[in-house]
Amino acid sequence: MIYRYGQLVPLTEADVELRLVPGTEERTSCPALYWNERGVQFVVCRTGPKRYRSYFFYTDDEQFRIGEHDYDGIEDCVRNLLQLQTDHERIRKGIFSGATAKDLGGDDEYFPPPILL
């Protein structure tokens, strides 16, 4: 489980097919963790021993990979995944457009960093 948005979020084990070598069409099956929260789907994949890659997506047309390189530790991979998705969500809501939380109907909830269990 992961602690996010003030609650425990269940993780689901999955298998995904990834292109591990840029520029090739070959896909490799990799174990992954998946969760869905607030309309966003998250995937953290193990691409090798101590190698991790992450993605988040809203729809088939809105898919995002976190960085061009894999991470050596799952903690850094998940932390950056959640931070970049949070930053992206702010952009989607117009927070960087000069709008204020009041304009956007935002709340003052605080969501601490995630904790992997």
Q: For all residues of the chain together, what is the average pLDDT? A: 81
Residue 91 banded pLDDT, cuts 50, 70, 90? confident
The answer on pLDDT for 109 being more than 80 is no
Q: What is the pTM of this model?
A: 0.72
pLDDT in the model for residue 54: 94
Distance from C-alpha of 7 to C-alpha of 109, rounded to nearest angstrom: 13
Domain ranges across the chain: 2-104
C-alpha 116/C-alpha 114 separation (Å) is: 7
- Given a contact cutoff of 8 angstroms between Cβ atoms, the answer to whether 27 and 19 are in contact is yes
- pLDDT tens digits for 46-62? 999 999 999 998 888 88
Residue 73 has pLDDT above 90, yes or no: yes
Task: Find all residues with CB under 8 Å of 1, minimum gap 6, and list them.
Answer: 8, 9, 10, 11, 117
